[in-house]
A = this chain, B = another copy of it.
Amino acid sequence: MPPNLQPVFRALGDPTRRDILRMLGQEPMTIAEVSEHFDMTRAAVKKHLVMLSDGGLINVEPRGREKVNSLNAAALKPVFEWLSWFDKFWDDRLDALKTAIEKDQSHDTGRNND
């Protein structure tokens, strides 16, 4: 079952959320810690985290009274693959090689790309 791409693309559509992803790529953070990096209320940051969670882009785990948000980069994979459909238009060579790599790997390439 192909994952629904829409929540992922929607989550990526906001610059604050893209920044958050990069931050969580460095280290997991609580909501308060993420909020420190932005000039907006914690509630606003929380909403962004919910959207990221909706897209499966982050994992949220309780730790006492805190919630630790960590990156789930695997959720980006379908996006990457959706984009790869267009490789042929801007770089035939890279596309060919990447296809070879994917074939070489024993991946479940049950891709739908929609």
- Residues of A whose CB lies within 8 Å of any CB of B are 5-6, 9-10, 12-13, 15, 18, 21-22, 25, 71, 73-74, 76-77, 79-80, 82-87, 89-91, 93-94, 97-98, 101-102, 105
CA distance A76 to B22 in the complex (A): 19
Instruction: State whether B101 touches A94 (Cβ < 8 A).
Output: yes
Shortest distance from the beta carbon of A32 to any chain B beta carbon, whole Å: 24
**A9-B12 in contact given A77-B90, A80-B83, A83-B83 (Cβ < 8 Å):** yes
Contacts of A9 in B (CB 8 A): 12-13, 15, 18
> Main SS of the interface on chain A?
helix
A74 and B73 alpha carbons, distance in the complex (Å): 24
Q: Given the complex of chains A and B, what is the CA–CA distance between A10 and B18 in angstroms?
A: 12
